[in-house]
Each structure stands twice: as structure tokens, then as C-alpha cells.
Amino acid sequence: MSIQSRNNVQILGEGSVTMLFAHGFGCDLSMWRNFAPSFASRYRTVVFDLVGGGQSDLSAYNRTKYGSLSGYADDVIEIIEECAKGPTIYVGHSVSTMIGMLAAIQRPDLFLANVMIGPSPSFIDDGDYSGGFSREDIDELLGALDSNYLGWSSTMAPAIMGSPEQPELADELTNSFFRTDPEIARHFARVTFLADHRGDLSSVTTPTLIVQSSDDLLAPLSVGEYMHRNIAGSSLSIVANVGHCPHLSAPGPSKEAAEAFLGTLGY
């Protein structure tokens, strides 16, 4: 099985620098349609599906390998080695921000910069750390997903998307959740919502931008501020947006934040 078919890799544009875009839980590469194409005139832009999502090869899904985010990070490294030309700017959303961070810690030589949209190193409150949810909240969320995946998707997708003035986006996210294999979604949800990568933040050496919605159910402002404090030299940009997907609901301001950050690096 080729890496490109495994991850449904699609390449647009050419340039001496590559931009690699990674989607979040329950999504696919189409979620970058309002974001990635605007960079294709200057960069080699690469979009792909995480194994288990979109048009990836579901036969490649291995519960052991993907029992932690490190398995996905290994895939990202392989995609860069196979499909990138020159150094890579990684743009991740939600759980894929942590996947890219782990990949960059493992292979910093492959990464020019890391743009994190709606990141969270841990969703669970712990002492002075406010992740947005108690452990009981997360257990209830996962229990609801186990008992009624379609019902859970219908309820959670609109809450995650936010952006009440654009209800079509909530419908799109709901349908994306519906298309995801329920067993894979249940497994990936546990990997996502029970992960704790706070201890990895101090190991980041790649220039990092944190793009944070001003009102985000899954990644509240306190999380973005925590990451900014704990990733040396990072930048934090707050985008006026309700919801967890500003690359869809507020693509203009999100792209402006990314462009300004890349400009400071000379790209």
C-alpha cells in the first residue's frame, strides 16, 4: 500500500516550501477547502486524510498503532518524506495540532513552522490547569458516543462547530461525523479526549503559532494561553469566532493570522 493511497494525499501548487494540512476528529481533507487553496500560488500544498477518516484506506487502520497520537505522527513524517518538496510548514486543526507537534519533536529537521488551529494538549481539568472538561464530563461524552453514535454526532457537531449564523457548517460537520466508521470514531475519540500532551510542550523547538477562537467549546482561551506560556517563543492569535473550526467559519481572519506569522519567519 502506498502512502499516498493510504492517506488519500492530494497535492496542489508548487514551490520550494511545502504546506501540509491535517484535519481534526471526524473530518476529512475537504475541511481545508476555504483555507489551503489560497496558499497554492506560493507553496506546494498537501492535504490528506488521517487513516480512518475521509477517503483513507480503512484497511490500514490498526488499533494498536493508532492507540496513541504517536501512530498518526509517524504517518505525518512518512507523508512529508514522500510528498513534500523542501522544508514543511505544518497546519493542523484540533487533535491534529498535537499530532503535528509530536512529529516535529521527533523530526524537527523536517519542519519549518507549526500552525496550530484550536489546539489542546489535554481536555481534562487538572489542578490549576483548566482544559474545559472534568473527567466525569469526558466519561459521559464517551459513554454517549458508545451508546448512540449517530445521536451523539447530531448533538455534538453543531456545538463543536458553533458559528450559529452559518448553520450549513454545522450540517456539514454532522454529515462528516456520520460518514466516519462508528467503531473507528469511538476508538479515535478515546485517543483524542483522554490524551495528555502537556509534558511535551517544553520539547517543542519548531516556530509555533496558536490560532484560538475567542469562544470555543472544546479549546477555551485558557488552553491557548497555557500553550503559549509553555511553548518557548510561540505566538498566540485570537480570532473573533464562535466555535472550534475557525478555518471554516472565519477563514479570512485565520489566514491573516497565519500569513502574519509566516511573514515574521520570512515565508
Mind listing the pLDDT tens digit for each residue in 140-197?
999 999 999 999 999 999 999 998 899 999 999 999 999 999 999 999 999 999 999 9
pLDDT for 174 equals 93
Cβ atoms within 10 Å, residue 256? 13
pLDDT for 224 equals 97
CATH ID of 3-265, from 3.40.50.1820, 3.30.1240.10, 3.40.50.10490, 3.40.190.10: 3.40.50.1820
Nearest to 21 by CA among 74, 82, 100, 101: 100
pLDDT class for 53, splitting at 50, 70, 90?
A: very high
pLDDT for 13 equals 85
Tens-place pLDDT, residues 22-44:
999 999 999 999 999 999 999 99
pTM for this entry:
0.97
Domain edges within the chain: 3-265
Tens-place pLDDT, residues 217-264:
999 999 999 999 999 999 999 999 999 999 999 999 999 999 999 999
Identity of residue 145: L
Tens-place pLDDT, residues 59-87:
999 999 999 999 999 999 999 999 998 88
pLDDT for 116 equals 98
pLDDT for 15 equals 87
Beta bridge partners of 196: 122
pLDDT for 86 equals 81
Question: What are the residue numbers of the active site?
Answer: 94, 216, 244
Backbone angles phi, psi at 120, to 5 degrees: -155, 125
Average model confidence (pLDDT) across the chain = 96
What are the residues whose beta carbons fall under 8 Å from the beta carbon of 5, sequence distance 6 or more?
Answer: 57
> Does 1 have pLDDT greater than 80?
no
pLDDT class for 14, splitting at 50, 70, 90?
A: confident
Burial class (CB in 10 A: 0-12, 13-18, 19+), 30: middle
